[in-house]
Structure 1
C-alpha cells in the first residue's frame, strides 16, 4: 500500500490571493485613471494632474479621484463645452469601456500569485 502526504497551505494561499487582488486593483485603478486623463477637460492642466488612485485592502475597493475644488462640478456639468475629445463624466464614461481590461489585470495578478 502506498502512502501520500498532503500539506494544506490554505491560509498562505488565501493571503497570497488577497495581496495579488489588491495589486490587481491598484493596476486597474491606474489603468482607468490613465483612460480618464484622456477625457478630462483641460484649461491649464491642473485638473488632469490632480488625478490619483488608492486601494483599501480591508474592503478590497479601489478609488480614482481628482483633487481640485472644481473637479466634481466639471465632472457633472453636462452643459459645459470642452475641447474635442474632452468631456464631462470623464471618470464615469471610461468605466464601462475599461471593465474587461480591469478584470484581466486583476485575474493576471491572481494567476501569477498561484504559480
Structure 2
C-alpha cells in the first residue's frame, strides 16, 4: 500500500462510527452484514449511516455485494492487511526483534 492510499484508509477510520462499523464487519467475515444490520448496530438513521458507509467503500475498506434483494457489506481484509503492513514494515528497519512483540500478540489470539 502506498502513502496516499494509506492516508485515505486512515482518514476513513478516523471517525468512531466508521471505525466501529469496520471492526464489526471484520468480526463478521466472511459472511458480512446487511446494510440494515449495520444501520441498526450504529444507532444512526439510514441516511446518516449511508454517508459513513460511502466513505468506507471509497477508501476500499468495505466491499458491497448484492445478494438477492439485500446489499451485504464485507470488510476488505486485504485492505486491512495492506495498511497494517504499511504501518509496520519500516518500523523494524531490519531489526526483527523490535516487531516480534507485535507479531506475537497478533498471532496469539
Normalized per residue, which structure has more helix?
A: 2
Q: Please give the TM-score of this superposition, normalised by the length of structure 1.
A: 0.27
Which has more radius of gyration?
1
**Greater length-normalized contact order (CA 8 Å, ≥ 6 residues apart):** 1
